[in-house]
């Protein structure tokens, strides 16, 4: 690692740790990880007692490569993104993810004040983040950090997360073609449910893992 890379990593670490401290103040279980593999190890440890594991359609979680390891450990995998599922089977899995033992997802934005800001098209992910699963682990790469207000976090989602996600999902939306949000009225618009979790929900064992690496959108 060059001196420039080392200093950049150090700078990001301070921001990550500030977010972790704010999350802890807000009642969350929060963990700092210096690299993605540390986050994967944490998830596998926390999954020890889980029988069923739900996946919230996160590129961040997919990039950690934990699904195969969890399946090999005998966990029931609930992943509505499995391309082999029929539309009816997908609906069943979406609902079962809401009551699984462990739900894995990311967040669209994380403020340095410890607020989780998300925008969903269906609402299954943000619903599970708040209540239902016995345990929820949210993994946030440093690129999700916002040093500003909730409104700035929402802007981050619409500017940097929604366009590539729309394109990934092959949604017929303007942003999937232009790369810019136009606050569309498309039937396939993915920005439909906006949530702000500013304190740990009382009945949800919610963990937030902040990783000093670029993960997801």
pLDDT in tens, 87-120: 999 999 999 999 999 999 999 999 999 999 999 9
Residue pLDDT, tens place only, 57-98: 999 999 999 999 999 999 999 999 999 999 999 999 999 999
pLDDT for position 94: 98
In this predicted structure, the answer to whether residue 1 has a pLDDT above a threshold of 80 is no
Q: What is the DSSP string of 110-164?
A: EETTS-EEEEESSSHHHHHHHSSSSEEEEEEEGGGEESS-HHHHHHHIIIIIHHH
The 10s digit of each residue's pLDDT in 138-170 is 999 999 999 999 999 999 999 999 999 999 999
Domains of the chain, CATH where assigned: 26-211 (3.40.50.10420)
Please give the pLDDT value at position 3: 84
Q: Which class for 133: exposed (0-12), middle (13-18), buried (19 or more C-beta within 10 A)?
A: buried
Looking at residue 21, what is its pLDDT?
98
Q: In whole numbers, what is the pLDDT of the chain averaged over residues?
A: 97
Q: Is 11 helix (H, G, I), strand (E, B) or coil?
A: helix
């Amino acid at each position: 690692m060059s001196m420039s890379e080392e200093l950049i990593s150090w700078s990001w670490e301070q921001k990550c740790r500030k977010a972790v401290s704010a999350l802890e103040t807000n009642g969350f279980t929060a963990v700092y990880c210096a690299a993605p593999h540390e986050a994967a190890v944490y998830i596998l440890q926390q999954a020890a007692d889980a029988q069923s594991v739900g996946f919230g359609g996160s590129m961040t979680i997919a990039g950690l490569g934990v699904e195969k390891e969890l399946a090999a450990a005998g966990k029931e995998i609930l992943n509505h993104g499995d391309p082999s599922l029929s539309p009816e089977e997908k609906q069943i899995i979406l609902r079962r993810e809401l009551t699984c033992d462990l739900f894995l997802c990311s967040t669209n934005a994380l403020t340095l004040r410890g607020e989780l800001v998300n925008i969903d098209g269906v609402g299954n992910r943000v619903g599970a983040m708040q209540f239902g699963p016995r345990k929820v682990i949210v993994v946030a790469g440093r690129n999700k950090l916002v040093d500003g207000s909730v409104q700035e976090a929402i802007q981050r989602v619409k500017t940097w997360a929604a366009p590539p996600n729309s394109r990934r999902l092959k949604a017929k939306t303007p942003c999937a073609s232009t790369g810019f949000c136009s606050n569309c009225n498309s039937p396939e618009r993915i920005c439909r449910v906006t949530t702000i979790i500013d304190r740990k929900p009382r009945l949800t064992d919610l963990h937030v893992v902040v990783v000093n690496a670029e993960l997801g959108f």
